[in-house]
Structure 1
Amino acid sequence: MYMNNNIDFYSKMGTGLTVKSFLVILVMTSICKITMVAGWIWDDKNTIVIQNGFHSDAYSLYVHCLSSDDDIGEHWLGVGQTIAWSFHVTVTDSTLFHCYAQWDKMKKYFNAIEWEGQTGKCCADKGRVTWVLQEDGLHAIVDDDFRNVHNQEIAKLNWD
């Protein structure tokens, strides 16, 4: 008799649980799909490379880059040497890496990546951008096969 009461109880509740289960599964599936899409977008990394493109090795190129979250550190680059780092942009598209570079008496504060500002939104959503620092200025070059762009200069800054 005790068993029959349990069976009767579950048979009465079965319909309600099925609808509730269906709704829970529907909501969870939707959340998973949104998370997968957002995760795919968020996983899209950007890479910044800074290269010493000077023709003379009389001086090392000093570079120090940082954001509000990450300090890439101080580097002294010989001719042809590079530093590089990868990162995810923030959800609010406010990622900003600013740098200071000096070679002999040439100096420059610049934003290696920004969504708005001095370089006209330079480097945001470009994938991989190489800043080649040379005697005639700082050149931002994108080379990203995924976006079908090959060695295109997207910004040029002059030394101060």
Structure 2
Amino acid sequence: MKNLSIFIFAFALCMIISDVEGRRTTILIRNGLAYKKWLKVHCASGDDDMGVHYLKPGSPKDYDFSFDDSIMRNTLFWCTLSKGPDYKVSKRFDAYVQNSGKPHGGSYNYVAKDDGIYHSNLVEFKLTKVYSWN
């Protein structure tokens, strides 16, 4: 009976690890602000600080980073986007929350516009406003 319990535990652990491995998640942020407005981006989780990045206006370069979900199923990345003089207008939001009921991996795309922050999952390729600036 003890061997069966060890086998079931090891099998369950392998299933959890195989479910998480190989499916990297990417967060992509784009500056869609009007003419000559810079965007300040700072993303972090409980374990990782991605640092502060500045996106030029009209730049074709986006900011993105990829990561693997936690085996404990508690991955959370939040981002603060800031704009305006001295970056006083900002919005902090949960950019990714791991959900064991939904498949992980893929791309979470955000575009900062003058009236708020928009999201697209690249499946429908439709931007949806999800946050307004403070």
Q: TM-score, normalised by structure 1?
A: 0.63
The residue number in structure 2 matching 1:51 is 30
CA RMSD of aligned residues (A): 3.0
Q: What residue ranges of structure 1 are gaps of 5+ in the alignment?
A: 1-22, 117-122, 144-148
Contact kept, 8 Å, 1:126 with 1:142, in 2: the verdict is no
1:121-148 deviations in whole A, cap 9, x for unaligned?
xx973610111111121111101xxxxx
Of residues 111, 116, 119, the one that matches 1:137 is 116
1:102 equivalent to 2:82? Answer yes
Residue 77 (structure 1) shift: 0.3
Q: Partners of 1:54 and 1:138 in 2: how far apart?
A: 10
- Which letter does structure 2 place at the counterpart of 1:100? T
Q: Partners of 2:97 and 2:103 in 1: how far apart?
A: 6
- Give the 3-state SS of the residue equivalent to 2:124 in structure 1: strand
Q: Partners of 1:109 and 1:133 in 2: how far apart?
A: 12
1:85 equivalent to 2:65? Answer yes
Task: Please list every run of at least 4 consecutive aligned residues from structure 1 whose deviation after the TM superposition is greater than 4 angstroms.
Answer: 30-34
Larger Rg: 1
Of residues 124, 127, 130, the one that matches 1:150 is 124
Residue 89 (structure 1) shift: 1.6
What is the aligned-residue identity percentage? 27
Contact kept, 8 Å, 2:119 with 2:127, in 1: the verdict is yes
Q: Which has the higher helix share?
A: 1
Q: Partners of 2:82 and 2:75 in 1: how far apart?
A: 23
The residue number in structure 1 matching 2:41 is 63
Q: What residue ranges of structure 2 are gaps of 5+ in the alignment?
A: none
> Which is bigger in relative contact order (C-alpha 8 A, separation at least 6)?
2
- Give the 3-state SS of the residue equivalent to 1:150 in structure 2: coil
Q: Partners of 1:113 and 1:124 in 2: how far apart?
A: 12
Q: Which has the higher strand share?
A: 2
Q: Partners of 1:66 and 1:157 in 2: how far apart?
A: 18
Are residues 141 and 126 of structure 1, via their aligned partners in 2, closer, same or farther at CA, if it must alter by over 3 Å? Answer: farther
